[in-house]
Structure 1
Amino acid sequence: MPKGYWIGRVDVTNPDGYKAYVTGNGPVFKKFGGRFLVRGGAFETVEGGARSRNVVIEFPSYKDAIGCWNSPEYQAVKALRDGCGVADIVVIEGYEGPQPSDG
């Protein structure tokens, strides 16, 4: 079963308000098996547009990733971030097919 991922790009406009979201989201992600692969960090935009902060969260499955997003627990924590920035977030199923190194 493919893993699920959240890919987020965020411009934080209220850092103090955003901190409450960052503090509160860990227990929710843990409940759904989420783990951070990317959480901020250095980056270079090589094509297209960008936001100032990038996040990638891995979940055991796409179902878990969607379940976390739709959960009342996450929606309550998300309300802490509403109005503290602008975000583009995609929930996506991972890929388990052939890789360039396979051939």
Structure 2
Amino acid sequence: MAKGYWIVRVDIADLERYGAYVAANGAVFAAHNARFLARAGRSETLEGSSRSRNVVLEFPTYEAALACWHSAEYQEVLALRTPVSTADLLVIEGYEGPQPGDS
């Protein structure tokens, strides 16, 4: 079964208050077996638009990624982020097909 991913781009208006979201989200993500693949590291926009912070979270399945976002626990944590940031969050199913160079 293919993994699920959150692709998140965020602009933060209040770093101090955003810190409360960061402190609270770990327990929720752990409960949904998520792990960070990228978390606010260096980035360069080569095409299109961007935001100041980028995150990629991996979940065991696409359904698990959706379930995390819809969970009551995450919705409580999300309430900490939304007043102090603007975000784009995409849930995407992983790909398990042929790769470049495969014969």
- Matched position secondary structure for 1:27: helix
Give the equivalent residue in structure 2 for 1:60: 60
Q: Could you state the TM-score of these two structures normalised by the residue count of structure 2?
A: 0.98
Aligned-pair CA distance for 1:101: 2.5
Give the equivalent residue in structure 2 for 1:101: 101
- Partners of 1:102 and 1:29 lie apart in 2 by 34
Q: Which amino acid aligns with 1:52?
A: S
- Partners of 2:82 and 2:95 lie apart in 1 by 31
- Partners of 1:101 and 1:59 lie apart in 2 by 27
- Partners of 2:37 and 2:56 lie apart in 1 by 5
> Percentage identity across aligned positions?
58
- Partners of 1:52 and 1:100 lie apart in 2 by 31
Q: Could you state the TM-score of these two structures normalised by the residue count of structure 1?
A: 0.98
Counting matched residue pairs gives: 103
Structure 1: give runs of 5+ residues left out of the alignment.
Answer: none
Aligned-pair CA distance for 1:83: 1.1
Superposed, 1:26-45 pairs within 5 Å as: 26-45=26-45
Structure 2: give runs of 5+ residues left out of the alignment.
Answer: none
Aligned-pair CA distance for 1:77: 0.4
- Matched position secondary structure for 2:101: helix
Q: Which amino acid aligns with 1:20?
A: A
